[in-house]
Chain A
Amino acid sequence: MSKLKVSIAGGSGYTGGEVARLLLFHPNVEFKQITSERFAGKFIYKAHPNLRKVTNLKFSSLAELEPCDVLFLCLPHGNSMHGMAEFKKLAGKIIDLSGDFRLNDKEDYTKWYGGKHVLPDSLTEFVYGIPELHREEMRNTNYVSSAGCNATAAILGLYPLFKNKLVDLDRTVIEVKGGSSEGGNSPSEASHHPERNDSVRSYKPTGHRHQAEVLQELAFGEKIRVHMSMTALGIVRGALATSHVFLNHSAIQEKDIWKIYRKEYGDEPFIRIVKESTGTYRFPEPKLLIGSNYCDIGFQKDSDSNRLVIISAIDNLMKGAGGQAVQAFNIMNGFEETTALEFPGLHPI
């Protein structure tokens, strides 16, 4: 079997480590290079200790990056767009895990990220990276921009409702609770253990960048209003989005919601509906998804109003980053979509 030559630029962070972990077990991949300026010349396991004895590969510097078939960019925000001209010379296909190419509109980029985009004409070259929304476009593109983790959890939870125009477009409230790995591996005063441990920290009640992605992907040509709040928890991995929407017809019942989600996601390999009336895990629970590429979605309608609560959970480093990127990689290259992503998570954990 011929294998694709694949490399990672910016591989010492958590998303780079996650992509590396997945690619090292991908049967269609020859893992060529992984770069890090800080770890150049050192074994991968120095940054990713879980990969000890899995590979003898060492980090290269970005300047040493050689041509390959597919390049994953796991660089800090801003670095992808500044280096894109060079990256395109090195690889025919690029999957960018930063926020640089997630938004289609340069004005939106300026509003949410500050400053001007250096390649505004390239924004629409990149397919937004949630496969469940953009699978067919991914089959025909060379460039994918992986979605933000919190945006992924929120969008996947709400997509069937907005697509089928079942909700009041003017009032959606999303509360996302996330783990500390969402903040990357650069330490700060706020991430110091005595400060971070056991925290339930409201760190972005309004104005989180991922809200821009939710607005972009759920609008379907309409003017919509979405409010998003972020809370950091004392867990390492996991994101749980609790979204409140108001159904636009009082006759819509839970059975109808079941039908809609079954229609949109029934054939999706990584979406599961989790809604039970008894038991411990009646609704999605992020800890069961650690290491897996699943997004679990549940819902409940308020019996006294038209409010519908949607609960969606992911592992932020998997379905919210590395797993989603490898899923897109599989689609772009005609591989079985679930390749290297079959791990179902652990229980108990």
Chain B
Amino acid sequence: MSNKKSECPICDAELILADDTLQSELVECSDCGTELEVVSTSPVELQEAPQTEEDWGE
């Protein structure tokens, strides 16, 4: 199992990243489905990836 662990910055779920995860890679949280950008790999640091706003009910 990979040693690269972190928490989702949105829902706090534990995330285990593949050993070969690279900086700037996009990963997805299995709980809240948020697309996350790997800001740093050592230590692992994640942030919500930029999203396009949907136009609902305007």
A residues apposed to B, CB below 8 Å: 254-255, 258-259, 262, 273, 275-279
Contact = CB atoms under 8 A, between A and B. Distances in A.
Interface in B19-37: 31-35
A298 B33 CA distance: 13
A277 B31 contact: no
A258 B35 contact: no
A273 B30 CA distance: 11
Contacts of B48: 277
Interface of B: 10-13, 31-35, 48, 51, 54
Contacts of B35: 278
Nearest to B54: A278
Given A255-B10, A273-B32, A275-B32, 18 more contacts: A254-B10, A255-B11, A258-B12, A258-B31, A262-B13, A275-B11, A276-B32, A276-B33, A276-B34, A277-B10, A277-B32, A277-B34, A277-B48, A278-B33, A278-B34, A278-B51, A278-B54, A279-B33
23 contacts: A254-B10, A254-B11, A255-B11, A258-B11, A258-B12, A258-B31, A259-B12, A262-B13, A262-B31, A273-B31, A273-B32, A275-B32, A276-B32, A277-B32, A277-B33, A277-B34, A277-B48, A277-B51, A278-B34, A278-B35, A278-B51, A278-B54, A279-B33
Contacts of B51: 277-278
Contacts of B54: 278
Q: Is the interface of A mostly helix, strand, loop or mixed?
A: mixed
A255 B35 CA distance: 16
Contacts of A276: 32-34
A259 B10 CA distance: 11
A276 B51 CA distance: 12
A131 B39 CA distance: 43
Contacts of A273: 31-32
Nearest to A275: B32
A262 B34 CA distance: 17
Contacts of B10: 254-255, 277
Contacts of A275: 11, 32
A254 B32 CA distance: 11
Q: Which of A254, A258, A262, A273 has the most CB of B within 10 A?
A: A258
Contacts of A278: 33-35, 51, 54
A254 B12 CA distance: 9
B14 to A, nearest CB: 10
Contacts of B11: 254-255, 258, 275
B55 to A, nearest CB: 13
A303 to B, nearest CB: 14
Q: Which 10 A-B pairs have the closest CB atoms?
A: A276-B33, A258-B11, A255-B12, A278-B51, A258-B12, A277-B34, A275-B32, A259-B12, A276-B32, A255-B11
Nearest to B7: A255
A33 B32 CA distance: 45
Contacts of B13: 258, 262
A273 B34 CA distance: 13
B33 A258 contact: no
A240 to B, nearest CB: 17
